[in-house]
Structure 1
Amino acid sequence: MISVNSTSINPTHVTGLLHTLSSASSILATAHKNGPVYTYSQYLRGASASLNAISAESVLATATASSAKASASAALRSAALDLAGLEWEQNQYTEWLTLWPNALFTGVFGFLLVFHFGLTIFSRYWYFGTTFVIGTGLCFGGYLARSLSVNHESEQNPFLVQIIVLTIAPAFLMAGVYYILGKMLVLHGPGYSTLRPKWFSYIFVSCDLISLIVQAVGGAMAADAVSQADDTAPGTHVMVAGIAFQVVSMSFFLLVFFEFVFKLYFRCSPDIRFSFGTLIGLFFDTKRGRQLRPELDAHYIRGFESVRQRQAFSYVPLAVFASTVCIYIRCIYRLVELAGGWRGYVITHEAFLMSLDALQVAFSCFIFILFHPYVMWGPRSQLHALQKEVSESEKYKEEAVNGDLEEGDGVESTISGGSSWH
């Protein structure tokens, strides 16, 4: 960052600055497109201001007259202001980044990445683990890039890295959340959701993928506009549309989640009717909720009782809800941020990013360390064996029912035939 009060440029750079000044002037004489005109105008401004600063410093070093010193000081200050203004225009973030919060969240997501990677290897819940390892890894990379950008805010590559990876990371995390809710439907039995378990991932991951593609297209349009010194509004509007679509799809997911919870608690037993007190008791697993669970469990699918009796199992709906709300807050923030433009108030104040993005996503990742599938459901091998047993049992029941129906149809046909015979 250039200081207006203490600008000093090495005089040995004069030859290079003169060459830059000459080259930029000749190119600007024939340039017509916005991109080259903007770029070489900056080169011209920078070289001119630097030469003026060197000249003023030379005068200050040798002048004895007060008037000459005052004039040189004013020229040096003017050159410093020009260079500081040029540096600000090249700032990709339109703010000076602070190291400690970026370094803090680099460390936080590094810890979460290592922990989720270790849990994945240990538990062998590969799909869920992969989504959270990728999600936390992207966040780690994003805040590392921001940390490296401190005092180097004009460098474009770290800026692009952090904006891309921090944008797409929550989609991978939500893919893991969709898996959790789909598996919960399997463990309780069909009939507690409009959607079948496998459709949770199909529908909502597809929505996130569409959102990411739209955001990527908008980001590419905006980046190209920046490089050509054109209007970034069209690309920004496309990005806003992509994030808005993501918010809509997450809103739909929350509706499906609420339907699941309502049916799970209040549609399986005629003895348990809806009330907010009962909902809170079951949702937060209070003493009242624990008293009601045996009554509810008797109506759920047979075979998974040992899983549903695990201590952490009762908190799964709360964990899913809390994690989803955190990501939802983050998406709303991103929507407001981009709607305000690349130099708007929200995007140029780092505190919003740290509190409404970094903190929310970190909390979402931390929730599923406490409520990892291994903690909620037990070893994957045991759960897989139970699922296989239940699946075979249900298949046997279905075949038995179909067989009874066929026998019944035959008896009915015989009776009907006997009647007609008479």
Structure 2
Amino acid sequence: MNMSFVLREENRALLERVRDMIRNAIMPLEVEYQAEINNGDRWQYTDRQAEILEGLKAKAKAAGLWNFWLTDSDKGFGLTTVEYAYFAEEMGKTPLGAEVFNCSAPDTGNMEVFERYGTEEMKEQWLKPLLEGEIRSAYLMTEPDVASSDATNISMSCVRDGDDYVLNGEKWWSSGAGDPRCKVYIVMVKTGGDDLPMHKRQSMIVVPADTPGIEILRPMEVYGHDDAPHGHMHIRFTDVRVPAENILLGEGRGFEIAQGRLGPGRIHHCMRAIGQAEMALEQMCKRALQREAFGKKLAQLGANFDIIAECRMEIEMARLLCLKAAWYMDQGDTRAAAPWISQIKVVAPRVALKVIDEAVQMFGGQGVSQDTPLAIAWTHVRTLRLADGPDAVHRRQVARAELKKHTQEKI
């Protein structure tokens, strides 16, 4: 099996342009952008925030550095998933990176849904402004009253009533729904009864964010951090009426759409997590060489040589596993790729968390404060062990694939 993780020559030059913009244009503005969040309404962008973000986006778009996530598409750069992995890793090194290049979750997954399954009207109303970076979107799946790691439990009521569907229920951890630019939701709902096969009971429906009956109850906090102005919202739907044509593909097709959406999204998160690990290791090394205690550089104290070495080796292993999963995705067989995606979905956040935590330790008290980006990075990556399926679910999938090699029985 000829497995290659090589970037084509033209894309090496493209990646270098992205790397340069991240280092020299985006990173210098990170601290100022973050400080603006606490000025005024946390759920609105200040003039300076908007100036920074939209200015960087305009710069990226003008340079043609836009929509890299459109892998194997004539609308983008035609990157393979393997090639995109290198770009996503670079974007993961700064909190602003993904959005500046219009490669943010959950928008990329939602855009894929609109592109693959949406009507022409949906593509014009929602996909077009999303591709231009003019609006944001949210994906609503998880519910507070059921174990949503088993998506067959999704129970938000969606009942046909004439030319409409009527939605009732609650969703939470709706990432991006707090953003004032969020204009549309893609929502996983239950349309079928218990008489239908288990994977034919759920559907996906497109819901404009300003539809009457939608109430944002609260932002969910991650270890006390609300992630404003992006936000992970807890939302209630009360008799929300949506035109029947907003259902995607028809009733009972929710799982089919979800699998098409979640595979790429899961691996994109992992790629960015590796970038976060790289930045944490870089900060750790600089700290170890600059700070002194007991008459020596921190690098020369305790087990810090070993810690730095272990972090480097684990990042390299995680990257190779991520590239292998990406390669399997590029072969077009989602079933064959699934165990590899599950493996990296467990490994990448775990490795990134370890590296970030070691960097925090190297910085001491400063590492858990607002004076470095490490504490916020840790909370985001810790959430990734739950997002798009918790570790236990992915380990179960990996184990089932392994056991099937040795038995004809149903596992």
Q: State the TM-score, normalizing by the size of structure 1.
A: 0.30
Structure possessing the higher radius of gyration over alpha carbons: 1
Whose helix proportion is higher, 1 or 2? 1
